[in-house]
Structure formats: C-alpha cells, structure tokens
Amino acid sequence: MEKILDFEIKNIKIYEGKKSTWCPGCGDFGVLTALKQALFELGISPFDTVIVSGIGCSSKLPDYINANAFHTIHGRLLAVATGVKLANQKLNVIVTGGDGDGYGIGGNHLIHAARRNINIKYIVMNNEIYALTKGQVSPTSPYGFVRGTTPYGSKDRPIEPCLLSLSAGATFVARGFSGDIKSLKEYIKAALKHKGFSHIDVLSPCVTYNEEYSYDYFRENIELLDGPYSSREEAISSIINTWKKGKIPVGIFYIEESNHYELSLFGSEDYSIVEEFKKQRELKKEEILELIFDKK
Amino acid sequence: MKLSDFSVRIAGLAGDGSLLAGEILAFTLKRRGLYVVSVKDFPSNIRGLPTNLTIRANLKRIYSWGDHIDSLVAFEPKAIKIHPRDLKKGGVIIVDEEIDLKDIHLNDIYIYSVPLKKRARELFKREIFKNVIALGFLGYIYSIDPDEFKNTIVFYLKAKDEKIVESNIRALTEGYVLAEKIVKERFQIERGTDSGRYFLSGNEAVALGAIAAGCRFFAAYPITPSTEVFEFLSKHLPKYGGVTVQGEDEIASINMAIGASFAGIRSMTATSGPGMALKVEALSLASMAEVPLVIYHAQRAGPSTGIPTKTSQEDINHILFAGHGDVSRIVLVPSTPEESFEFTFKAFNLAEKYQIPVIVLSEQAISQNQQTIDDIPYDENYTWERGKILTDEMVLSYMTNGKPYERYEITEDGISLRGFPGQKGIIVRYNSNEKTPEGFIDEECEYRNEMVEKRIRKFENIINELPFPELYGREEAKNVLIGIGSSLGPMREAVDRLNEEKLDFSYLRIRSLFPLHEDYIYSLTFNKNVFVCELNSFSQLRNYLSRIWGKKENVFSLRKYIGLPFKPSEIVREIKKIIKGEG
Ligand SMILES: Cc1ncc(C[n+]2csc(CCOP(=O)(O)OP(=O)(O)O)c2C)c(N)n1
Ligand code: SF4
C-alpha cells in the first residue's frame, strides 16, 4: 500500500487496499474497480471517505480499498452508516454489502434509510445467492431455486430490490452490472454526486456458487432503460414492464432532488456534530441545572 | 398531632388525573422542606385501568415508600377494596360519594364520602377536576395552607392556559369548603426548609447526566420504562449541537449509536428487557470492534413483554452474560436519581477510556419515580476523560515517521489509540471480525491470541475506577443484607428496625455488577449470615455472587416478583422467619 503524504489525488493507486481473497472471476472485483475509478475521477479523498459493510463475501470489500472502514455485522451496515453520517455529515459515507445482507436480514433498514433520504451511497453486490455461507438461496434467488437448504426448490418468490427502495422513497435508484465496469462507474459517480439516499443494485456474479447467473447470462438478459425517469411512477412501471418481457432492467432509474435527512435535521450541509463537539467544554453546573428548573 | 413521616395514596383509573394530583401534592410537600418519594403503580394502558400513586414525605432523606399510608384518596370502587389494608390506625379515606361503601367496614379509620365528581360536574361541567377538589379536601385535613398548593399549581401549569390555572385553583378551594363542613379531626404535617432541592426521576437524571457528559448522539426505540430519557434528550440535545434519532427498531438504534461513536462523538442508546434482547448482537460488536458505547437499561417485569410498567431485577443474568463470544462490558447499578446521574456521567468516561460498552442497569422503580434530592452531584471533578484519542496534531507524526496508524495496536494496557475518520493523514479501520492491528480481517488468525489478550488486559485496572459497594451499618455486624437498585431504601429501613431489636445487621449495596469488587464482598461476608434481596424468582443475584462464595453456608435468598419494590416490613418479616426457623 502506498503511503500518502500529500492529499492530492494524482494516482488511482492511492485507493489500493489489501490483496483480495475473492475467487478469481468473482463479480465483486468489477464493483471494486468501478468504485475506485469513480472516487479517483471525482477526486474524493480516502481520508474523507468511510466505507461501511456488513458480512458476506461482498462485505469484505472495505479491506481491499484504501479508505476509512467499518466492517460491521450482518445486515446492520445501513444503521451503522446512519450513525456515522449524522455524527459527521462531511464524511463521504459509502455502504457496501450483499443481497442476503441488505435485502434479507437487513431489509428493514433499507426501507428506512430510503424513507429518511439520508445522504448515503448504498451499493449492493447482488449475486442472487448467499455465498460466504456456501450457496444458499437469497431473497433475490428465483422461485424453485435448488440449493443445500432448498433441495425441493425454493418456495419463496424473489423481491425486486429497486422497486422496493423506489417505493420506500429512495431519491437515487440504479442497477448496474459488474461485467460492464464503465457504465457502473458512471452510475457510482452519479450517486456520489447525488445528495440523498442512493441505492445501486449491482448484478455481480458468484462464479463459485451460482453458475446459473453467469456473466454470459446477464449479458444476454439485461436491458438498458432510458432513465432516469421524471417520476417515481414512471420508473416503477418501466421496471415492471421490462421484467414482464423477461428482461432484467439496468440503468439509472430515478433521480430526485429534494432535501436530505441531515439538511432537514441540521439546516446546513456543512454542519458536523463531531466538529462542534471538539469545540465544546464541560458544562457549568448552572447550565445543567437550568434544564430542570421546573423540578426545583 | 404533628406527622413527621407522612404517606398518601391516590388511587383511581388511568386517565382519572390521580398522577397529576399526586405530583402537585408531592411538589407542595417538597417545597415545604420535606424529602419526598413517589411511587407510581400504573398499568400499561392509557385509560380505564386502576392506577395509583403513593407519596411519602419525611424530614429526613428517605429512599422507599415505606409500609403504611396515612390516607387514601379513592376515585374508583376497586381502590377502596385493595388499598385500605395499607392504612395506619387513625388513617383517613377520602372517597367519592358515588362509590358504594355498603360492604366496607373499617375500624379506627376516618372515612369521608365526598361529592367530588358531582361538584366537579356542577362547577366545571367536567369530572376531571375531582382530583384537585380531593387535593383541597386533603389539604384541609392535613392543615396545608391553600396558598402552598396554589403556588405549585401556578408553577406547574404556568405554561398552560390562564383559565386552566384558574379552574384548578377554584377546584382546590372547593375541596377546602367541602372539608370544612364535615371533617372531624385535623392533623399537621411537619415543615422543614427547602434550600433549593430538586424533585427528579431516575430517567430525568440519566438524561441530564448524559448531556453533562457530552453525549451528543442518542438513538433508541421507545420502550417503557426508559422512554423519558429519549423524550428529555430529544428536547434538549439540539441545544448542544446534538441529535436524537428514533430508529426503526432497537437493532438499528444501537448500531446507529455505534456508528456515531466510531465517527467521534459520545453516543448512547436506552432500552428495557425486550429491546435489550434485540441489541445483544451489536453489544458484542461494540466489544469486539472496541467502540465506546453507553447503554441505559431500565428493567421491567418479564419474561417477554411481561408487565411493562412494573419493576424487577430480572435482567441481571441477561446483562451480565448477554453476547456471543467473550464480550467485555462494564455494568453499573444506580439506586437513586443522584447515582443515575453520576453513573451515567461516569459511563461515558469509562466507555471512552476503555473503549468498551458500559451498561447502566436501572429499573422501573428508580427510572420512573421521583424523589427529592439535595443536589445534582456535579463539581469540577466531573470532566470529560476521553482516553487515548489521536489528536490532529498527533496525526502528523504518523504521516512523517513512516509507521502506519494502527487502530488495534497491541499495547500493554490493552488500549489502542483511537483515531477518527476524517482526520486527514490516517486511515481508520474498525472491524467486527478478528483483525490485524491495522484493522484488516485476520484471515489467517495470526493475531488471534494477541487480540484476545489485549482485550482482556483492559480489565486489569477497571475495577479501581468503579463505584465501590456501599456498606450501611457496622462492618462487624453478624448478618448482612445484600441488594442492588431499588432495594436501597427498604434494606436501610429494615436494617434499622432489625438493629432496634438487637439483631445485628448491616447491608451491602452493590453498585457495579461487572466487574465485581469480589475481594471486598468476600471478606465482608466471610463468616456471616448473608441475606440476598432481589426482585426476581430465579435468585439471579444470589447465584451470581455464589461464584465468589462457593458453597457458602447460611446464604438466604429473599425474592419478590410482584412488580413492586420491597417494603421494609417484608424484609424484616422474612428474615425473622428464617432466623426462627434456624433457631
Ligand atoms: C446474524 C448472522 N446470521 C448469519 C450469519 C452468517 N452469514 C454470513 S454471510 C451470510 C450471507 C451472505 O450473503 P450475501 O449477503 O448475499 O453476501 P455474499 O457472500 O453473497 O456476497 C450469512 C447468512 C451471520 N454472519 N450473522
Ligand atoms: S464465493 Fe462467490 S461471491 Fe464469494 S468470492 Fe467466490 S465468487 Fe465471489
């Protein structure tokens, strides 16, 4: 890892993290590359960036990039990231995880992060499988999928994560494919520039446990929509119509400019509780007692 | 006759206004210079079920609601069936005249059947004012100057409409008028001096302690009996630049608090049993990732949803052992509003110094009940001790000396320097997996032993910083009561009564459950009879302490699990039974 002494970002190598332990060919490499390139092209400093992840193969991503990181617990990454962002709005908070992590155990947090419209970028490496636990079905696996825990075929119907976040209120929703790093990088850049909750679902093949959903399969079946659409309804119906045709919609589906959570809370985009706290001193006794004057 | 220890119970249905009347009375007595303890006994329901409030006042500082009441105000029929058994001889009952007294036969009790509701309807067209009419009636019996009440009413309701204040004063006066006509015997309550005391609940004290300690982020999910902390902080934290968030559930809330702490601010979450059950995975995360975190836990009766509004000490096992893996934690147990403040403040310092979660374990009887306290224990010694944190100036040396910053550096005292994301020049890596000193996943388990031992080493010094057990009575006393939390008052009064009967007792109140002052507890209880008082059925505290004692003879367990704190008489009675059984 290169030692950074100046803050100028002259070389993409400054984002270089540890050598990865992903299987050769894993789709997550594409996401990692696209993310590094997006950060580099926008000149975002690793020092100002925090990557929060959950648990899963995909969630190991923070180890492989040079930025502040918190590798948390399964499914809770958005909650931890919410605390980070509220504490210090100036940090560029990126959340990365898998489909099991984010749509299964952590599904509730996705809904609420979206409805709060907190200014966090959420990239989900969707391989339609639980990989780290060796290949069980995930909430995005298709009906009838046969795996170790579903020997007679999964009886659960899959969810469409982008429809979920769109209906919950996310103000930036996209789907990329890790076999198309160039487009994915552009989506990530757009998300990084967006002020609000940004959700990017990335089709990211697991070459070890999910042969059905290979690079070739996605290449043949994805359809690029001509978003972003001007309304949530239009985005939702275009996604549904594409699925109906048997195609997987990709592209940026929706972008909406509206106040994000921190702005509503603090009234400013510059405010940081961390910085404010640094300036504070212990309170005087009278100041504390003032709070309970009606108890005297 | 002058009463120096005075208790009243106001009983009605939820929504009857008993609590407001009680608060006005309590505050009036407090301003009269008396120490007041109030105990709310209410259902988890908004309207229609029995609710009562007991107020006890004394010239001396008291910590429990005692055994008996001097008078009972009853607005509903059930109250007149249950509560009179707590009345003292010569006590008073003020009951609404619409309640049938046919089957009620009480000796040595003054019963006044008063048209409370009727007069409220006639005067205000609203029955709710019956509570303040009753207060006036009570005020006459106990010779309280109406002006004392009026001052409290004005003070309490001043934010409200002028008209409401006026109506309440009219209702109060009506109570005095009604009483003058029928009251046969009057009493007097002592008067002391109130040099600026406060009337505070444990929850309010915790919130205040958090603000004083510099807590600037709070995330929680509402749950009785901890919610007042959330409400208090939501009102006040923004003034100090902080924020509160209502998470989508307990899991989200604790993880948000962990995220905020990682980013560099002091943060806290508050909960009760069911909520704590959900937070456990994240408690383990905080321990593993070495994130400073304060968790306030106010116990209620369980298991499961149990009785949300009643007290218990049923979560001792849970709090001591919750978490998968060897989870480090500190557990502090306050008994009073003062300690709720003090321990919360301390919790933030300990959390940052040792970079571990600190749990302040309270219970409903402390968190939701108010007491008169002399003062908030706060002086120049209350400083923010932030432990080993990396200042921006220190970052420069990392940048120039070529050594990378290691979040989990292996150190002698087990504590590594805490840097924060956003400090330009260093990269901060936190990890819930076992890790390398730099914070990368340690896939080869190269550092496993060193990391485990580093986390254990933190405990070498912690014990010296924790609240020491409180001994009341003689160190040599042959018999010791042991308890925590709300058992303070009842144990103290029980010890006094037992000693009056020459039974030679002291009590030991444990104030930090983990780590525990084992040596002291062992030596103090050596060769003695030990009685462990606790509000649960599993003898959780006794069993925990037995680790120190082994198979000690003469350890007795006094348990109560109805949802209310001990009464001193219950402790005395049980102990005498045990002693007799032995002898
Ligand atoms: C609370 C909890 N439950 C279960 C696990 C086990 N677990 C680890 S990763 C994982 C699923 C990972 O799947 P996904 O999020 O899709 O990530 P991938 O490995 O496919 O990238 C599970 C169930 C865990 N670590 N924590
Ligand atoms: S198991 Fe699948 S998801 Fe995990 S690293 Fe290998 S290819 Fe990637």
Residue A176, helix vs strand vs coil: strand
Token reading at B541: 């505290």
Which residues share a beta bridge with B558?
B533
pLDDT of res. B46: 75
Q: Is A6 on the interface with B (CB under 8 A)?
A: no
**Whether pLDDT at B43 is above 90:** no
pLDDT of res. B552: 87
Distance CA A273, CA B242 (A): 6
Distance CA B408, CA B492 (A): 46
Assess whether the previous peptide bond of B565 is cis (omega < 30° from 0).
Answer: no
Other C-beta atoms lying within 10 Å of the C-beta of residue B147:
8
Which residues share a beta bridge with A254?
A173, A229
CB contact under 8 A, A274 and B259: no
Ligand nearest to the CA of A132: 1
Chain B residue at shortest CA distance from A6? B425
Distance CA A137, CA A135 (A): 7
Q: What's the mean pLDDT when you consider all of chain B?
A: 95
Which residue in the block uniquely carries the two structure tokens 């571990």?
Answer: B356
CB contact under 8 A, A72 and B432: yes
Distance CA B342, CA B377 (A): 7
Q: How many angstroms separate the alpha carbon of residue A105 from the centre of ligand 2?
A: 19
Q: Which residues of B touch A67 (CB under 8 A)?
A: 427
Ligand nearest to the CA of A56: 1
Return left, alpha or beta for B25; rule: phi > 0 is left, psi -120 to 50 is alpha, else beta.
Answer: alpha
Q: How many angstroms separate the alpha carbon of residue A26 from the centre of ligand 2?
A: 5
B330 close to B314: Cβ distance less than 8 angstroms: no
pLDDT of res. A1: 36
Nearest to B422 among A3, A82, A88 (CB): A88
With the most atoms of ligand 1 within 8 angstroms of its CB, the residue from A74, A109, A110, A201 to mutate is: A74
Q: Whose CA is nearest to atom 25 of ligand 1?
A: A74
pLDDT of res. B462: 96
Going B349 to B353 to B359 to B362, the CA torsion angle's sign is negative
CB contact under 8 A, A282 and B285: no
Q: Is A115 on the interface with B (CB under 8 A)?
A: no
Q: What percent of chain B has pLDDT over 70?
A: 99
pLDDT of res. A7: 54
- Report, as an integer, the average pLDDT of B430-451: 97
Tens digits of residue pLDDT in A228-274: 999 999 999 999 999 999 999 999 999 999 999 999 999 999 999 99
Q: Which residues of A touch B247 (CB under 8 A)?
A: 79, 112
Q: Nearest to residue B432, comparing CAs of A74, A123, A92? A: A74
pLDDT of res. B559: 98
Tens digits of residue pLDDT in B186-196: 999 999 998 88
Give which of A39, A47, A68, A109 to mutate to test B binding, by max B Cβ within 10 Å: A68
Beta strands in B61-137 (DSSP E): 69-74, 87-96, 109-114
Residue A67, helix vs strand vs coil: coil
Q: What is the Cβ-side half-sphere exposure of residue B301, based on CA atoms within 13 angstroms?
A: 19
pLDDT of res. B569: 96
Q: What percent of chain A has pLDDT over 90?
A: 95
Give which of A19, A65, A273, A290 to mutate to test B binding, by max B Cβ within 10 Å: A273
Tens digits of residue pLDDT in A175-198: 999 999 999 999 999 999 999 999
B406's CB contacts (< 8 A; 6+ apart) are: B416, B437, B438, B439
ipTM over 0.95: yes
Tell me how close the Cα of B573 comes to any Cα of chain A, in angstroms.
36
Distance CA B341, CA B345 (A): 6
**Whether pLDDT at B158 is above 80:** no
Amino acid at B400: T
Confidence label for B48 from pLDDT (cuts 50, 70 and 90) = confident
**Whether pLDDT at A4 is above 70:** no
Distance CA A47, CA A29 (A): 22
Q: Directed axis angle between helix B116-124 and helix B162-182, to 10°? A: 140
Distance CA B215, CA B200 (A): 20
Other C-beta atoms lying within 10 Å of the C-beta of residue A293:
8
CB contact under 8 A, A83 and B441: no
Q: Directed axis angle between helix A232-244 and helix A161-168, to 10°? A: 160
- Report, as an integer, the average pLDDT of B383-408: 91
Window 16-35 of A, Cβ < 8 Å to B: 18, 21
- How many angstroms from the chain centroid is the CA of residue B489? 13
**Whether pLDDT at B582 is above 80:** no
Which ligand 2 atom sits nearest the alpha carbon of residue A23?
Answer: 6
Q: Whose CA is nearest to atom 6 of ligand 2?
A: A23
Chain B residue at shortest CA distance from A82? B256
CB contact under 8 A, B198 and A68: no
Token reading at A127: 């391989």
Q: Which residues of A touch B33 (CB under 8 A)?
A: none
Which residues share a beta bridge with A255?
A172
CB contact under 8 A, A52 and B208: no
Confidence label for A64 from pLDDT (cuts 50, 70 and 90) = very high
Q: Nearest to residue A120, comparing CAs of A45, A181, A200? A: A200
Distance CA B270, CA B256 (A): 12
Nearest to B255 among A7, A76, A274 (CB): A76
pLDDT of res. B160: 73
Q: Nearest to residue B208, comparing CAs of B114, B1, B348, B77? A: B348
Q: Nearest to residue B430, comparing CAs of B354, B364, B355? A: B355
Q: Nearest to residue A175, comparing CAs of A165, A164, A166, A184? A: A184
Distance CA A255, CA A191 (A): 9
For residue A228, the surrounding DSSP H or E stretch is none
Q: Is A28 in the pocket of ligand 2 (CB under 6 A)?
A: yes
Q: Whose CA is nearest to atom 8 of ligand 2?
A: A26
Give B400-453 as a DSSP string: HH-PPP-TT---TTS---B--TT-TT---EEESS-B-TTS-B-TT-SSHHHHHH
Distance CA B246, CA B112 (A): 48
pLDDT of res. B149: 95
**Pairing between strand B198-201 and B370-373?**
antiparallel
Q: Whose CA is nearest to atom 5 of ligand 2?
A: A22
**Whether pLDDT at A284 is above 70:** yes
Ligand nearest to the CA of A161: 1
Chain A residue at shortest CA distance from B236? A291
Which residue in the block uniquely carries the two structure tokens 């309550």?
Answer: B189
Nearest to B252 among A90, A109, A296 (CB): A109
pTM of the model: 0.97
CB contact under 8 A, A46 and B265: no
pLDDT of res. B159: 67
Strand arrangement, sheet containing B330-332:
B243-246, B215-220, B266-271, B293-299, B357-363, B330-332, B512-514
Which residue in the block uniquely carries the two structure tokens 């170790």?
Answer: A148
Beta strands in A5-104 (DSSP E): 49-53, 68-71, 92-98
Which residue in the block uniquely carries the two structure tokens 């989870």?
Answer: B327
Tens digits of residue pLDDT in B200-244: 999 999 999 999 999 999 999 999 999 999 999 999 999 999 999
Q: Nearest to residue B236, comparing CAs of A143, A199, A292, A34? A: A292
Q: Nearest to residue B520, comparing CAs of B478, B464, B479, B458? A: B464
Distance CA B454, CA A1 (A): 26
A195 close to A118: Cβ distance less than 8 angstroms: no
Residue B216, helix vs strand vs coil: strand
Q: Is A95 in the pocket of ligand 2 (CB under 6 A)?
A: no
Q: Whose CA is nearest to atom 3 of ligand 2?
A: A206
Summary count for chain B: helices (H), strands (E)? 20, 23
Q: Where are the alpha helices (DSSP H) in A144-259?
A: 161-168, 181-193, 215-221, 232-244
Q: Directed axis angle between helix A107-116 and helix A161-168, to 10°? A: 40
A242 close to A251: Cβ distance less than 8 angstroms: no
pLDDT of res. B162: 85
Residues with beta carbon inside 6 Å of ligand 1? A 55-58, 74, 97-101, 125, 127, 129-133, 138
Residue B27, helix vs strand vs coil: helix
Ligand nearest to the CA of A210: 2
Three state DSSP letters for B327-364? CCCEEECCCCHHHHHHHHHHHHHHHHHHCCEEEEEEEH
Q: Is A214 in the pocket of ligand 2 (CB under 6 A)?
A: no
Distance CA B301, CA B364 (A): 9
Token reading at B48: 């229609």
Q: Which residues of B touch A266 (CB under 8 A)?
A: 243
Chain A residue at shortest CA distance from B31? A296
**Whether pLDDT at B473 is above 70:** yes
pLDDT of res. B155: 86
Tens digits of residue pLDDT in B289-346: 999 999 999 999 999 999 999 999 999 999 999 999 999 999 999 999 999 999 999 9
Tell me how close the Cα of B259 comes to any Cα of chain A, in angstroms.
4
B580's CB contacts (< 8 A; 6+ apart) are: none
Nearest to A63 among B242, B379, B440 (CB): B440
Q: How many angstroms separate the alpha carbon of residue A94 from the centre of ligand 1?
A: 19
**Whether pLDDT at A3 is above 50:** no
- Report, as an integer, the average pLDDT of A106-133: 98
Nearest to B217 among A66, A71, A273 (CB): A273
B4 close to B32: Cβ distance less than 8 angstroms: no
Confidence label for B404 from pLDDT (cuts 50, 70 and 90) = confident
